Amino acid sequence: MDVLPREANTAVANMAANYLLLEHYPQPTHIRFRPFAWSELAYTFGVSQKWEKYRSVVPAHVPLIRRCTGGGLVSHLDDWTFALAIPPEHELFKADALESYAAVHQALMTSLLAQKMPVKLVPLPQGERVFQAPDHCAHRAEPHDVVLVEDGRKVAGASQKRSRKGLLIEGYISRPLLPDCDWLRFEKDFAEELGKVLKSKPVKVPYPIYDQSDHEGTWAKFNSASWNQRL
């Protein structure tokens, strides 16, 4: 598993980098893990959601960028974020969404429990699962999300995109809910636990060099009104 350096970027640059990780990575058979940060206040929203609905509630001066993955509105005001790309050859690519969520969030929870953080996974519901719109996914916990033991507040969530190039998972953790967490230790532990779950030893690698046209084209896509306001 290739572990990229953690970088802070704008919302456009982060969403473009995650898409490049999935679609244009130079070693496409490798699992790749990208922890990243934000150089600005920003919100992102799911690929199938309506722009106007969220633009009306997000302050006008704050960037609002459409993700290539699903889900609803997520604020990146104080969170710890990551992207994980899994190639089609890997068994987890062939698993359903709940199974892949469970595998990644199990590794995440184990890493937090190593620091005695009071968290747990949301279990699968009994009986038929009722559909709920993703509008407030940053606050409503779904099966296999990570929540606080005490009151069930959502600590971590994720969204996915599957293409012929692989499976992309974009995830976030609410840092204010875990004020005692050592995030440098967590980053190391999470990579190690993901390596165990995915059966691929984590190896630190430099940031990839992409074809210039792929890089510029992807950045332009996530910066465009035709992408962000298309619905």
Q: What does 47-59 look like in DSSP terms, one character per residue?
A: TTS-HHHHHTTS-
Beta strands in 149-212 (DSSP E): 154-163, 166-174, 203-204
Condensed to tens digits (0 to 9), the pLDDT of residues 140-153 reads 577 889 999 999 99
Instruction: Specify burial of residue 145 (Cβ count, 10 A radius: 0-12, 13-18, 19+).
Output: buried
pLDDT band of residue 118 (cuts 50, 70, 90) is very high
All domains in the chain, ordered by first residue: 2-122+135-217 (3.30.930.10)
Average pLDDT, the chain: 93
Report the alpha-carbon distance of residue 158 to residue 142 in Å, rounded.
10
Does the pLDDT value for residue 3 go beyond 90?
yes
pLDDT confidence of residue 27 = 97
Prediction pTM value:
0.92
Which helix (DSSP H) or strand (DSSP E) does residue 23 occupy? helix 11-23
Does the pLDDT value for residue 217 go beyond 50?
yes
Condensed to tens digits (0 to 9), the pLDDT of residues 8-30 reads 999 999 999 999 999 999 999 99
β-bridge mates for residue 173, sequence order: 80, 156
